[in-house]
């Protein structure tokens, strides 16, 4: 199951993690976000223990959206060692996200 990241836990759970973090910035009213949701859940299960896969609701966590310049959703950020190492905007097939995960693990 995908983790839930918030303005409150983001630093401890993501920025201080030694693992690759795959974070889906989404909103419940966004159709493409809802379409991408099952893919994020599948990746969370498949990479459990190796990669932190989670979601940030942009409506509930506006500070994170502003800090990372999120202007279009869905937007998936790949963060490693506290830095954004890759980004994917828009709903894409699972294979596209997997390629990015493998390249940054």
Which residues are tagged catalytic? 30, 33
CA distance 29 to 16: 30
**Does an H or E element contain 64, and which?**
helix 62-67
Whether the upstream peptide bond of residue 64 has omega within 30° of 0, thus cis, is no
Whether 50 contacts 79, CB under 8 Å: no
**Count of beta carbons in the 10 Å neighbourhood of residue 16:** 10
């Amino acid at each position: 199951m995908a983790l839930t990241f918030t303005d409150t836990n983001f630093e401890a759970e993501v920025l201080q993690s030694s693992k690759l973090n795959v974070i889906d910035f989404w909103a419940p009213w966004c159709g493409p976000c809802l379409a991408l949701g099952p893919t994020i859940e599948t990746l969370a299960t498949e990479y459990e223990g190796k990669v932190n896969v989670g979601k940030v609701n942009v409506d509930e966590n506006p500070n994170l959206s502003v800090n990372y310049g999120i202007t279009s959703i869905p937007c998936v950020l790949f963060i490693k060692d506290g830095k954004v190492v890759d980004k994917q905007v828009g709903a894409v097939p699972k294979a596209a996200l997997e390629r990015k995960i493998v390249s940054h693990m």
